[in-house]
């Protein structure tokens, strides 16, 4: 089986995880890594028995694709250089620091017939994947992403660090134009927003309320969806989902699911059962699934799982939120 040759650019905390997965994957041929900090790079290269390249260009000449795991402000320069060398791109979220940069990368990739995938990893969480095949048409979404304080990542706002995960999920679930954004956020321990709340309103009357904090006592990564005759919980931290529905006996349900009848509502022909379903999905390594899906898209010349356009849309919304938070209120 042919394996796509891959290089890892940036081997900090997350980049090292990319390196470990690529080194162990049967679908990826890890050619080597590059990091501006060569001392750090040497440690990672020795640990995973791969080659440390002395400069970026030398690595780019040896590989078909790269995984870019550098600070966001360096995404555009690194990615554009990689595209110029004919490399397919896997680029960690957010796609870039500025929307114009993202648009430029998308254009370059298309013109050169190269793949560009953005690393929105929650799309590959078993809790989210378990709902594939179910008709999700939420009218109200409540999202909480709360983390304990960690100095790593506080160089950017919590919007770009954490909330962008939920922005991407919401935009994926609600296929309707975004009409308005209301946002507030405050800095508590860092120089940028550490906690924020956002309300997104869509043309189809759907509403999403997102709360994100990186200074919480306990961690939570949960989204609740409300739609006609159904309530869905997606717990990204526990990697499981639940669906509460009103059903007739003949209504369809998941094949691979635990199904519990909770109670009965109504009488006669109007009677419905309140059903709790717990759909299952095999436990997977989400980042491994992301990276291997990326190389499969290269090998099969098929669409990537999270496109540059989707990454751009999430970034556009995140930057509008940041602008609104920083803008003086009337």
Whether 42 and 55 share a structural domain: yes
Q: CA-to-CA distance for 165 and 144, rounded, in angstroms?
A: 11
CATH label of the domain that carries residue 89: 3.40.50.720
Domain boundary residue, one of 266, 282, 298: 282
Task: Return the ∠ at Cα 56 (arms to 55 and 57), rounded to 5°.
Answer: 100
Whether 116 and 138 share a structural domain: no
Residue 303 pLDDT exceeds 90: yes
Whether 259 and 158 share a structural domain: yes
Of all residues in the chain, the percent with pLDDT exceeding 90 is 78
Q: CA-to-CA distance for 187 and 23, rounded, in angstroms?
A: 39
Place of tokens 């595209």: 83
**pLDDT one-digit tens code per residue, 250-271:** 454 555 555 555 556 655 556 6
Residue 321 has phi, psi (to 5 degrees) of -60, -45
Asked if residue 319 belongs to a domain, the reply is no
Asked if residue 192 belongs to a domain, the reply is yes
Residue 266, pLDDT score: 55
Whether 193 and 252 share a structural domain: yes
Whether 158 and 273 share a structural domain: yes
What mean pLDDT is predicted for residues 233-256?
A: 76
Whether 40 and 68 share a structural domain: yes
Asked if residue 190 belongs to a domain, the reply is yes
Whether 71 and 137 share a structural domain: no
DSSP of 24-87:
H-SSEEEEEEE-SSHHHHHHHHHHTT-EEPSSHHHHHTT-SEEEE-S-GGGHHHHHHHHHHTT-
Task: Take residue 81 and report the two structure tokens written for it.
Answer: 């250089």
Q: Which helix (H) or strand (E) holds 43?
A: helix 38-47
Q: CA-to-CA distance for 35 and 92, rounded, in angstroms?
A: 15
Residue 147's domain spans which residues?
126-238+240-282
Residue 236, pLDDT score: 97
Residue 69 pLDDT exceeds 80: yes
- According to DSSP, the residues that pair with 178 across neighbouring strands are 202
SS (H, E, C) 186-217: ECCCCCCCCEEEEEEEECCCCEEEEEEECCCC
Domain count, the chain: 2
Asked if residue 43 belongs to a domain, the reply is yes
The whole model's pTM is what? 0.90
**pLDDT one-digit tens code per residue, 21-34:** 999 999 999 999 99
CATH label of the domain that carries residue 186: 3.30.360.10
Outline where DSSP puts E strands in 36-134: 51-52, 65-68, 88-92, 116-119
Asked if residue 263 belongs to a domain, the reply is yes
Residue 112, pLDDT score: 97
Residue 2, pLDDT score: 80
Whether 19 and 58 share a structural domain: yes
Of 58-72, 88-102, 153-167, the one with minimum mean pLDDT is 153-167
**Residue 229 pLDDT level (bands cut at 50, 70, 90):** confident
As a whole number of Å, the CA-based R_g of the chain is 21
Rounded mean pLDDT of the chain?
91
Whether 267 and 303 share a structural domain: no
């Amino acid at each position: 089986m042919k394996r796509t040759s891959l290089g890892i650019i940036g081997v900090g905390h997350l980049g090292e995880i990319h390196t470990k997965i690529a080194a162990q994957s049967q679908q990826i041929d890890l050619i080597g890594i590059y990091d501006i900090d060569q001392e750090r790079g040497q440690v990672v290269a020795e640990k995973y028995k791969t080659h440390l390249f002395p400069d970026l260009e030398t690595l780019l000449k040896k590989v078909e694709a790269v995984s870019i795991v550098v600070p966001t402000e360096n995404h555009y320069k690194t990615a554009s250089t990689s595209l110029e060398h004919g490399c397919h791109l896997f680029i960690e979220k957010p796609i870039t620091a500025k929307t114009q940069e993202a648009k430029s990368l998308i254009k370059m990739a298309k013109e050169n017939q190269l793949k560009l995938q953005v690393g929105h990893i929650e799309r590959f969480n078993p809790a989210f994947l378990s709902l594939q095949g179910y008709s999700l048409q939420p009218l109200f979404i409540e999202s909480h992403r709360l983390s304990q304080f960690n100095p790593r990542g506080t160089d950017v706002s919590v919007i770009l660090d954490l909330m962008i995960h939920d922005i991407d999920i919401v935009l994926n679930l609600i296929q309707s134009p975004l009409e308005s954004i209301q946002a507030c956020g405050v800095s508590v321990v860092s120089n940028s927003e550490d906690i924020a709340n956002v309300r997104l309103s869509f043309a189809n009357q759907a509403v999403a309320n997102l709360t994100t904090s990186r200074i919480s006592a306990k961690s939570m990564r949960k989204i609740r969806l409300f739609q006609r005759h159904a309530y869905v919980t997606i717990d990204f931290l526990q990697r499981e989902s639940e669906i509460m529905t009103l059903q007739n006996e003949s209504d369809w349900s998941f094949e691979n699911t635990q199904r519990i009848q909770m109670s009965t509502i109504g009488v006669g022909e109007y009677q419905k059962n309140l059903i709790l379903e717990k759909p299952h999905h095999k436990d997977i390594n989400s980042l491994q699934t992301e990276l291997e899906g990326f190389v499969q898209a290269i090998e099969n010349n098929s669409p990537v799982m999270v496109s540059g356009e989707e990454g751009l849309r999430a970034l556009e919304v995140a930057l509008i939120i940041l602008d609104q938070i920083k803008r003086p209120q009337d």
